[in-house]
Amino acid sequence: MRRMAFQERQIVLANDCLKRGLNLSHFWRLECLTFSQRLFILLVLVVLSFGGTLTWAQEPSNSTEASCVNAAVVSVPSRPTATSSTDTTQCGVVELEYGLQRQWPGGGANRDDLTGGLRLGIKHNLDFHWSSSAFLHVMDGDGNRTGYGDNWLGLRYRFLGQTKRRPSLGLAYQAKVPSAAVTKGLGSGRFDHAPSFLVSKDIHPVHLDFNLMPFFAGRSPGSGFDHSVGFALSTAGPLTRRLGIVGEGYGYTTLNHNSPAFGSTMLAFTFQVQPRLILDGGLDVGITRGAPRKRVFVGVTYAVANVYSWMQRQH
């Protein structure tokens, strides 16, 4: 969900970039790189980041080694909300999550997006995230465009656990690696940054999450960043043993003259097929003039395996 809000802003930035007429003769500018060159750079960054976190985490401390390696594998989904929980991916576990959505921004335009990625629980309170838009289709006044979206790399850290009277607190950081085609208006070709402050609390049987989300969007052309601040509050609870319901309100302040402040609401349902496999689906409706009119989505989260346990068996 949060990535959807980011990506909507990227399309606006990219269209603005094209209208201003970038000088594409400068090969050192990121937007001048071919898709293959950008993809190569992305793969190098992903391999280095993922490899580095695996190397760092291969030797857990003695106090946590047994629980990281021997715990039963379960899913800790980050879908379908814009809000992130302080609950990190289970230690040692790789999770796969993907979602398909259709969005109607207004004015007769629509957008189809297949977005997903991987998460790795590095420690009990730290995880690594990689996500991307594997397929992106936009139809608006500029015509139909189809391509690959941007990629995001990030970390999430819970620095304070909850007690009976106190919520848990955490920090998250995501950086966008530009890979969407600027010439098609699918991305800005600039690096963006998205730090977040996370608050979570369980009030049985309800789980609450609140996020404060500054957003720094690289300007095209020129240097520096446009910035805004996002707020998100979500609540989730069980309807039956397997079926759950999620409600959320979220929004951002004004980013620039092309991307005004907006607010949206979301209602979704989740279904636990098994502890490591969770399905979701729902509807998002804009409640302010600057918000996308509506969005429908379905998604899946699957805890693939505990890689720490697999690595231990190899030795």
Rounded CA-CA distance 62/60 in Å is 6
- Least confident among 54-63, 99-108, 110-119: 54-63
Closest by Cα among 277, 268, 235, 232 to 93: 277
> Which range is most confident: 12-26, 34-48, 73-87, 128-142?
73-87
Q: For residue 105, is pLDDT > 90?
A: no
Which candidate, 76, 6, 1, places its Cα nearest to that of 248?
1
Range of the domain at 87: 2-314
Q: What is the mean pLDDT of the chain?
A: 82
Residues whose CB is less than 8 angstroms from the CB of residue 23 and which lie 6 or more positions away in sequence, other chains included = none
Q: What is the CATH number of the domain that holds 218?
A: 2.40.160.40
pLDDT tens digits for 248-258? 999 999 988 88
Number of compact structural domains in the chain: 1
Helix (H) or strand (E) holding 268: strand 262-274
The answer to whether 16 and 258 are in contact (CB under 8 A) is yes
Taking only the tens place, the pLDDT of each residue in 59-82 is 545 555 566 777 788 999 999 999
In this predicted structure, what is the pLDDT of residue 47?
A: 53
Encode pLDDT of 263-296 as tens digits: 999 999 999 999 999 999 999 999 998 888 899 9
